[in-house]
């Protein structure tokens, strides 16, 4: 009998020094007392749920801002997760880090704990754009953090474009500076207005101008072209990498492989079932302390959700989704007219078939959400 495949492991650290106005992730302002309770609850949840015989193929510690924990506590957490999940020798182990809180000492502790990939939340090298985003770091701190990140076998940086007040030239300059930094991976996201965030409220009340969709589209094309021209291949709508430096953890998500999540708001996908934890860190810690499960809900996969997820996640990747598999899943889900809907999107120039796979064209990439809705 063949062994179970390795798992993806996600650990959520919900603390930030200050919450950014555009962010809708589960995060709160850092507080020592709550952080200690939260870390203890994490260890208990991991002890209770880590499945035997499923070594971790990838570990991703995200947030929030994991580096708010400081090097010693974060390093011990990495070692704990790797140990309890019997991480493979070649496991990809990623930490998210923010500029201003990531120095050479921090890097040494993380390297010693087994971290081999770091993702730095730069967002922009332009001070005015950072201010518009409500970020607390400056471009100098970003450059310092990237110099530290070079110590890791793979390192990534995040960029954001389509920000209010940002020009096309500023977005292109950010992409060029990302290339010049030598990053082996870049995630480039268009700013989105998420309901419930302070930024969404300000735009809704007319206090802040809404982003220009036409300008955002131009930035999407220009940033992508700049990165790809420098050898950073787009392998997912918002992610670019040099060969061999793609995020294995995120690829596992997009390929619908199994993963387990720990912490507030963390999601898991195991045995054809999805489950998720409560989003509030204090409630999460309180439940675990009381011996109760921190789970907020779960749902079994259905033919409909399997089809929709395979479609949505597959088309995010440049490799696309297997056409035969999609057609089979659509039939099982009772989705009549699949071939006709695909043909319609092909006629618009948004989709193409290549070597038995269905994928977005270059023109279709920025329209992914609407194309997927048309096929769903």
Given a cut of 50, whether residue 71 has pLDDT beyond it is: yes
Given a cut of 50, whether residue 326 has pLDDT beyond it is: yes
Given a cut of 70, whether residue 2 has pLDDT beyond it is: no
Q: What is the pLDDT of residue 4?
A: 60
Contact 150, 210 (CB under 8 A): no
162-169: average pLDDT: 94
Given a cut of 60, whether residue 170 has pLDDT beyond it is: yes
Q: What is the pLDDT of residue 24?
A: 83
Lowest mean pLDDT of 27-31, 302-306, 350-354, name the range: 27-31
pTM of the full structure: 0.94
Given a cut of 60, whether residue 280 has pLDDT beyond it is: yes
172-178: average pLDDT: 97
Cα–Cα distance, 189 to 278 (Å, whole number) = 26
**Mind listing the domains of the chain with CATH numbers?**
7-254 (3.20.20.70), 303-375 (1.10.10)
Task: Express as a percent the part of the chain with pLDDT over 90.
Answer: 85
Q: Please report which confidence band the pLDDT of residue 161 belongs to, taking 50, 70 and 90 as the band edges.
A: very high
User: pLDDT digit string (tens) for 229-250?
Assistant: 999 999 999 999 999 999 999 9
Q: Please report which confidence band the pLDDT of residue 216 belongs to, taking 50, 70 and 90 as the band edges.
A: very high
Q: What is the pLDDT of residue 27?
A: 86
Cα–Cα distance, 147 to 129 (Å, whole number) = 21
Given a cut of 60, whether residue 159 has pLDDT beyond it is: yes
CA-closest candidate to residue 70, choices 101, 29, 96, 111: 101
31-39: average pLDDT: 93
Q: What is the pLDDT of residue 23?
A: 84
Decide: helix, strand or coil at residue 251. Answer: helix
Q: Please report which confidence band the pLDDT of residue 177 belongs to, taking 50, 70 and 90 as the band edges.
A: very high
Looking at every residue in the chain, the average pLDDT score rounds to: 94
Q: What is the pLDDT of residue 298?
A: 96
User: pLDDT digit string (tens) for 101-131?
Assistant: 899 999 999 999 999 999 999 999 999 999 9
Q: Please report which confidence band the pLDDT of residue 1 belongs to, taking 50, 70 and 90 as the band edges.
A: very low
Given a cut of 90, whether residue 31 has pLDDT beyond it is: no
User: pLDDT digit string (tens) for 308-317?
Assistant: 999 999 999 9
Q: Please report which confidence band the pLDDT of residue 189 belongs to, taking 50, 70 and 90 as the band edges.
A: very high
Concatenated DSSP letters for 297-323? EEEE--HHHHHHHHHHHHHHBTT-EEH
Beta strand 295-300 with 273-277 is: antiparallel
- Which spans in the chain are helix H? 32-49, 71-84, 104-113, 127-133, 139-149, 168-180, 198-204, 213-229, 248-254, 281-289, 303-316, 323-332, 338-348, 368-375
Task: Express as a percent the part of the chain with pLDDT over 70.
Answer: 99
Cα 38 to Cα 24, 41, 168, 316, distances in angstroms = 20, 5, 42, 33
Decide: helix, strand or coil at residue 117. Answer: strand
User: pLDDT digit string (tens) for 286-310?
Assistant: 999 999 999 999 999 999 999 999 9
Q: What is the pLDDT of residue 6?
A: 83
142-163: average pLDDT: 96
For 365, the token pair is: 């990439």
262-275: average pLDDT: 96
Q: Please report which confidence band the pLDDT of residue 158 belongs to, taking 50, 70 and 90 as the band edges.
A: very high
């Amino acid at each position: 009998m063949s062994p179970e495949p390795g798992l993806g492991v996600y650990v959520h650290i919900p603390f930030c020094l200050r919450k950014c106005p555009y962010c809708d992730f589960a995060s709160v302002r850092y507080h020592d007392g709550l952080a200690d309770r939260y870390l203890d609850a994490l260890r208990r949840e991991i002890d209770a749920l880590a499945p035997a015989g499923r070594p971790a193929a990838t570990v991703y510690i995200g947030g929030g801002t994991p580096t708010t924990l400081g090097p010693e506590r974060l390093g011990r957490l990495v070692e704990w997760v790797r140990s309890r999940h019997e991480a493979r020798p070649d496991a990809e182990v990623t930490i998210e880090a923010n500029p201003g809180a990531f120095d050479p000492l921090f890097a040494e502790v993380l390297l010693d704990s087994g971290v081999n990939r770091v993702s730095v939340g730069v967002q922009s090298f332009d001070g005015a754009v950072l201010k518009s985003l409500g970020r607390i770091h400056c471009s100098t701190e970003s450059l310092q953090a990237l110099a530290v990140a070079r110590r890791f076998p793979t390192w990534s940086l995040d960029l954001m474009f389509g920000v209010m007040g940002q020009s096309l030239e500023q977005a292109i300059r950010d992409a060029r500076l990302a290339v010049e930094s030598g990053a082996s991976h870049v995630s480039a996201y268009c700013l989105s207005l998420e309901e419930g965030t302070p930024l969404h409220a300000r735009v809704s009340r007319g206090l802040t101008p809404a982003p220009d969709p036409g300008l955002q589209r131009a930035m999407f094309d220009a940033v992508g072209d700049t990165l790809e021209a420098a050898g950073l291949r787009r392998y997912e709508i918002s992610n670019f990498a040099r060969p061999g430096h793609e995020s294995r953890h995120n690829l596992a998500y997009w390929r619908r492989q199994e993963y387990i999540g720990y912490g507030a708001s963390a999601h898991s996908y195991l045995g054809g079932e999805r489950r998720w934890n409560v989003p509030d860190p204090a409630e999460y810690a309180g439940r675990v302390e009381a011996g109760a499960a921190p789970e907020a809900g779960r749902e079994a996969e259905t033919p409909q959700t399997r089809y929709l997820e395979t479609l949505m996640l597959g088309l995010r990747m440049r490799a696309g989704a297997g056409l035969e598999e999609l057609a089979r899943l659509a039939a099982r889900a009772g989705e009549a007219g699949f071939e006709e809907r695909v043909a319609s999107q092909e006629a618009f120039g948004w989709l193409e078939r290549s070597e038995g796979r269905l994928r977005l064209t270059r023109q279709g990439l920025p329209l992914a959400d609407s194309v997927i809705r048309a096929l769903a």
